[in-house]
Amino acid sequence: MDKQSTQKWVNGVIALSISLILLGIAPGIQMRLHIVNFISNILYIPEYPARVLRYAALDLSGWFFGKSELIQRINLLSQENTKLRMINSEIMTQRILLDINSNLESAQVVLRAPNAWWNELRINGGRKDGLTIGEAVFKEGYLVGRISSVEENFAWVELITSSSLMLPAVVDETRDIGVICGDGEGNVWLQFVPENRGIEKEMSVSTALVGDKLPSGLRIGKISGESSISPNGFRSVRIDIGADLSKLYSVDYKRHIKR
């Protein structure tokens, strides 16, 4: 080993020794922290471009991830909101039905003309029984029609299968609102439903709010699955009505429906 090479190795050993000594004594020296802070302060300005770039990258990634997280939260809240609305609607329906069922009065069907078989019928309850125009009439808990005219001792009921009776209705599961209307031949259709709304067979249909005499939540029937598309892009869905209108010997009514 020549002299110059020895000199290099001596310097190397000295540098390594200083490093080890520093490593050994530095943790116990308070001055070390001041030096570290001093170095950091000096380097603060030269490091500024990298720091700006890092914060910009973090902000950008935060913006993207934050946005997707926000969308997920909105979707989750939307689902929760739909569930709550359905539960609320179910509670309201149950209250109304409880109220109706506890105060029902029955009336006999006294006239059902063959030429207006699916349009109207006459019952033996009238003004003396407290019936008023517009009141709902039920059978087996399902809406069958509403009072169209009242006399002292009898009243006429317009059936939901009538083509002249149009009532707002809602699909309970999807909360889509349409109008129910009969075709005068025993069928009832839910009309003006937008396409691709996920309305499926067996979903229940009930009244939407019309007025105090015909509150929301009165059960009408269920989606049958049969549907047709109108030229203006709306869908009509046939409803299997809950009440059997073929065997209608009596109907139920309530004078004052409290919500």
Partner 1 sequence: MILNSLLSWYFQDLLAVLSSDALLVPDIFLLSILYYNFSDFSRDTEKEILLLWISFLGGILWDLRWIGIPGLFAFIYVGTFLCASWAWSVFPESGHTVSMFFVIVWLSQLPGFFAGLFLWNIVTEHYFRSMLVCQAYSIPLSALYSLFYARKLKLKNV
Between CA 218 and CA 167 the distance in angstroms is 11
Which residue number, 54 or 83, has a Cβ lying nearer to partner 1?
54
Between CA 232 and CA 204 the distance in angstroms is 25
Between CA 190 and CA 168 the distance in angstroms is 9
Q: Which helix (H) or strand (E) holds 225?
A: strand 219-229
| CB 65 to partner 1: min, Å | 15
| CB 49 to partner 1: min, Å | 7
Question: Which residues on neighbouring strands pair with residue 178, listed in sequence order?
Answer: 169
| CB 51 to partner 1: min, Å | 6
Residue with tokens 């109220």: 99
* Count of positions on this chain that bind partner 1 (CB under 8 A): 31
Between CA 167 and CA 206 the distance in angstroms is 10
Which residue number, 36 or 110, has a Cβ lying nearer to partner 1?
36
Query: Residue 5 interacts with partner 1 (CB under 8 A)?
Result: yes
Query: Residue 53 interacts with partner 1 (CB under 8 A)?
Result: yes
Query: Residue 12 interacts with partner 1 (CB under 8 A)?
Result: yes
Q: What are phi and psi of 67, to 5 degrees?
A: -65, -45
| CB 36 to partner 1: min, Å | 5
Which residue number, 1 or 185, has a Cβ lying nearer to partner 1?
1
Which residues, in sequence order, are CB contacts of 233 under 8 Å at separation 6+?
A: 194, 195
Which residue number, 23 or 196, has a Cβ lying nearer to partner 1?
23
Q: Between 13 and 52, how does the x/- string for binding to partner 1 read (CB under 8 A)?
A: --xx-xxxxxxx-xx----x--xx--xx--x--xx-xxx-
Query: Residue 8 interacts with partner 1 (CB under 8 A)?
Result: yes
| CB 47 to partner 1: min, Å | 5
**DSSP string over 60-85:** HHHHHHHHHHHHHHHHHHHHHHHHHH
| CB 223 to partner 1: min, Å | 53
From the centroid of its chain, how far is CA 252? 32
Which residue number, 29 or 110, has a Cβ lying nearer to partner 1?
29
Between CA 189 and CA 179 the distance in angstroms is 8
- Binding region for partner 1 (CB under 8 A): 4-5, 7-9, 11-12, 15-16, 18-24, 26-27, 32, 35-36, 39-40, 43, 46-47, 49-51, 53-54
